[in-house]
Structure 1
């Protein structure tokens, strides 16, 4: 896909510009507002609620950030929006509310979470919400089937494949051949690779062999910054201000 310079133009704040010591929790309106104020692009995570809404939250369960141990997918969007993050006034956002908050001022990079169960309802919902959004936005997932779902639901939306060398338990349930076939059929426009794996054959083949923009995550240290600057087009960072 031509014209993706905007995707790599600015460092990307991982889950927003969060700072727990300052009371700014990841994936909240406060973290996103701080990123906008700093002029950084925003990476965030999306999960599906029980009633099919795209919610901005990373974990499968609420416990780490809210004190409630419910699964995100077990509650409706209304119920999830009523839950307060620990020691903050922030509440969970829908994707639509995130879009209203950012309003095209910085780039959004949306990671769609998946259980590698071939379910792509989240991709369909994301595509529906973004139909009315005019700002710069891209979507990505570790699950190539989800990326393929994005291709089907919103072919014009820039889509990316997130990857790392270490294989998570969920991904181990997918055969290498099925993963490769799904990745090829998804036709990603960009890659987001673990900084710990750079330089590596596959991310560099994608970048230099196929011309795919390469984001790298999650950059936290000075060594990570040097590796990202040498081998990737842009970093997804946290814990400092570039």
Structure 2
């Protein structure tokens, strides 16, 4: 049986890569941004990349250059090396691993974890990042859900952690925005054909494409639809007509009591 997305993911907005703002020394996916999101009462969305030694690191990009005081692929550094590399725009904190973040959040707010595609072209996964994430989550008691753009990764998560809610991160898959993918792959993924095969509990869809009939058909059938990435109050108002919750950044989404 497919697990239900915890209700908490539909009741508080989710801070995209945590409540980041480098003007306040809070880089993306940093401990500082996570602490700020919790203090404000928001849920948190984070990203995972794999270290050289098979650990789940909380970091968005495949390379270090944009976000950290380092260069080159994340996958060419060990966990301890990555934890020692300061994030750009922060106060010297290194890149956290998933265990660090789980200890910090400790079930206080919903935590949405996106696993980045590790193999290119949304292909078959070797399961290493999925296993690292599931292992780190052992014993974690708070509201948590896992997701990935790669449906094969979501299917692997269903196999490894059948009781944990998981979903597909979905998109309009405009080939101009996805130049790393063959157009045929974009055409296939656009229709969300793997929702049932992957054992998904929800989707998180590109906000500008929420009116797509396939997305709304899923929602009308009872599938929770989250969306990414909302960057203003006006965008949020528009998105909430077609989605059950938002992932936001660059403004403060209103909290409802």
TM-score (norm 2): 0.88
Q: Does 1:122 align with 2:124?
A: no
Deviation at 1:191, TM superposition (A): 0.6
User: Where does residue 97 of structure 2 map in the other structure?
Assistant: 94
Deviating more after overlay: 83-92 vs 155-164: 83-92
Q: Partners of 1:223 and 1:121 in 2: how far apart?
A: 40
| Equivalent position of 1:112 in the other structure | 115
* 2: CA distance, partners of 1:2 / 1:67: 39
* Pairing 1:232–2:234 present: no
**Partner residue of 2:70?**
68
Which secondary structure does the structure 1 equivalent of 2:35 belong to? helix
Contact 2:69 2:85 in 1 (8 A): no
Retained in 1: the 8 A contact 2:5–2:201? no
Q: Contact 1:40–1:106 (CA<8 Å) still a contact in 2?
A: yes
CA contact (8 A) 1:140 1:162 kept: yes
SS of the aligned residue for 2:33 comes to helix
Encode CA deviations 1:64-89: one digit per residue, 9 max, x unaligned.
01242210011110110110112422
* RMSD between aligned residues: 1.8
- The reply to whether residue 164 of structure 1 matches residue 171 of structure 2 is yes
Distance in 2 separating the partners of 1:148 and 1:8: 23
Does the alignment pair 1:147 with 2:159?
no
Unaligned runs of 5+ in 2: none
- Does the Cα contact within 8 Å between 2:49 and 2:58 map onto a contact in 1? yes
- Aligned to 1:191, the other structure's residue is in SS state strand
Q: Which runs of 5+ in 1 are unaligned?
A: none
Contact 1:164 1:194 in 2 (8 A): yes
Equivalent-residue separation in structure 1 for 2:164 and 2:231 (angstroms): 29
Do 2:6 and 2:143's aligned partners in 1 also have CA atoms closer than 8 Å? no
Cα distance change, pair 180–92 in 1 and its aligned pair in 2 (3 A): same
Partner of 2:9: 7
Give how far 1:105 is off: 0.4
Q: Give, in whole Å, the separation in 2 of the partners of 1:3 and 1:29.
A: 25
Q: In structure 2, do the counterparts of structure 1 residues 79 and 104 end up closer, same or farther at CA, with 3 Å as the change threshold?
A: same
CA–CA separation in structure 1 for the residues paired with 2:54 and 2:5: 32
**Conserved in 2, the CA contact under 8 Å of 1:147 and 1:161?**
yes
Q: CA deviation at 1:2?
A: 3.8
* Structure with greater helix share of residues: 1
Q: TM-score, with normalisation over the residues of structure 1?
A: 0.93
- Say how many residue pairs are matched: 241
**Could you tell me which residue of structure 2 aligns to residue 195 of structure 1?**
207
Cα drift, residue 152 of structure 1: 0.6
Counterpart in the other structure of 2:18: 16
Question: Does 2:198 correspond to 1:186?
Answer: yes
Per-residue CA deviation, residues 170-201 of structure 1 (Å, 9 max, x unaligned), is 44377456896644310210010011112221
